[in-house]
Amino acid sequence: MFPEPHVEMIEPSPSKADPFSPSVLEEMRALLARLTEGRPARAVDALRVAQERLGPSTAPSVLSRAALELLDWGELFDLLADSTVEDVAIQHRRYVYAFRHGRWCREGEIRDPHRLWGGIRRVCEASGIRTPNDIKPAAEGSFAFDLPDPIGFLTVRISWSEPPLVPSSCLTLRLARPGRAPGLPQLIASGVLPAEAWDYLAGVIARRGTLIIAGPTGCGKTTLARALLREAARQFRMVIIEDSYELMVFWDGRPESDPGNIVHKLTRPRLPGEDIVPFSAFDLIVMALRERPDGIVVGEARGPEAFEILRAANTGHGPQVTTLHTDSVERVWSRYLQMAQSHPEARDLPSRTLAMMFAEAVTAVVVMAYREEGGVARRFVETIAEVMPEVEGDSDRPMLRIIFTRENGRLVPASRPIRPGFSAEEMGLAALPWRGGLHVW
């Protein structure tokens, strides 16, 4: 987007001066200002300057930290480098908390809040995120740092609030490392789900079915969805549509992270004071239909896009994987109905019509949990239910049958899958010890 001017190579200092001394940092900041010519610096700019000033033999961790120092994010280096940290919260400009191992922990205070918050604002602006102002005192968005280890390729989803929404500046950073996200072997080994449950879910994807993965915040919905979509990308061309990068099934530049034939798109809202053309989930679905997709995935269902998910699935564009927030399989339909009815084209549709669309489109529902077992916080699949393809009797609800349930700390087979096209026999799972009689409705 911006031309990159020539920056003269600076030989490493033979005295091996401290790369984080004030004099060296100021020298690198001057080089960074010359490189960016007044625009907000990106991580790639900061890394380039650090490499040229400190030399090619500098340790990756030193280069990574130096790049963050140049972006004025240096005080968060230890937290961003810690792979066990999933979220970072900064309360009232200076008090830092980290979410790791299922708990929030106090991490201390920011020494120079003015520098850090200025750095956060500049990185957001470099990533096209409209930062808080008098018109809209809040911001949300996603960006990435592609730096040497221990940071690596790190995606950051930011939620930022300013007065008068809050007494003083607060933000939360959701951290994810898509190139290092756990795949099938790790999910099975860590007890998220057993191999036979994975075989069922992967079979649904292979047969172009639609999966809904539900659960509370932080239970691993996105991790499981990402693993399933990477499996789907081996066979299908997928278009993923999201409001912000969460599924993150995209290439981070490393051969081992190549997701296959996947196109990842973000919606673009209309922002106050900007004369731009917005792109809604529906707009991007229309575009995707012209790109010969096998499957259209509409990220997380939070509102009106829930209706678009049904519409995309019912036009034959499967496989589909989406996530939603709820805490039990019994509440999946009521939550989904509430979101679908917020769509302008679905407000006047009878709930039975939406139930029939859901029953025809959705193959199965996965419910995940995140709680302590034996004193250890664990993520796992708690229930898998298949959705029958019709609404029975006078009910305005789709019928769900529980086919895997958690007993004694393990997910085990329950009712035999019988949905046409996805039965146990058709999916090669007839030999599992199925039982019977488990229904939600």
pLDDT tens digits along 162-175: 999 999 999 999 99
Residue 271: is its pLDDT beyond 70?
A: no
If you average pLDDT over residues 269-279, what whole number do you get? 67
pLDDT tens digits along 206-241: 999 999 999 988 788 888 988 888 888 888 888 888
Signed CA dihedral, 200, 203, 205, 207: sign only: negative
Q: How far apart are CA 409 and CA 402, in angstroms?
A: 17
- 257 — pLDDT class (breaks 50, 70, 90): low
Write down the pLDDT at residue 313: 79
pLDDT tens digits along 382-435: 999 999 998 877 778 899 999 999 988 889 999 999 999 999 999 999 999 998
pLDDT tens digits along 122-148: 999 988 888 898 888 998 888 889 899
Q: What residue ranges of the chain are covered by domains with CATH 3.40.50.300?
A: 181-413
Instruction: List the structure tokens of 303.
Output: 């509102």
If you average pLDDT over residues 334-344, what whole number do you get? 89
pLDDT tens digits along 62-89: 999 999 999 999 999 999 999 889 899 9
Q: What residue ranges of the chain are covered by domains with CATH 3.30.450.90?
A: 75-178
The listed CATH number (3.30.450.90, 2.60.15.10, 3.20.20.70, 1.10.287.70) that belongs to domain 75-178: 3.30.450.90
Residue 16: is its pLDDT beyond 60?
A: no
- 441 — pLDDT class (breaks 50, 70, 90): low
Write down the pLDDT at residue 360: 92
Signed CA dihedral, 419, 420, 424, 427: sign only: negative
CATH topology of domain 181-413: Rossmann fold (3.40.50)
Write down the pLDDT at residue 14: 40
Least confident of 114-118, 178-182, 311-315, 415-419: 178-182
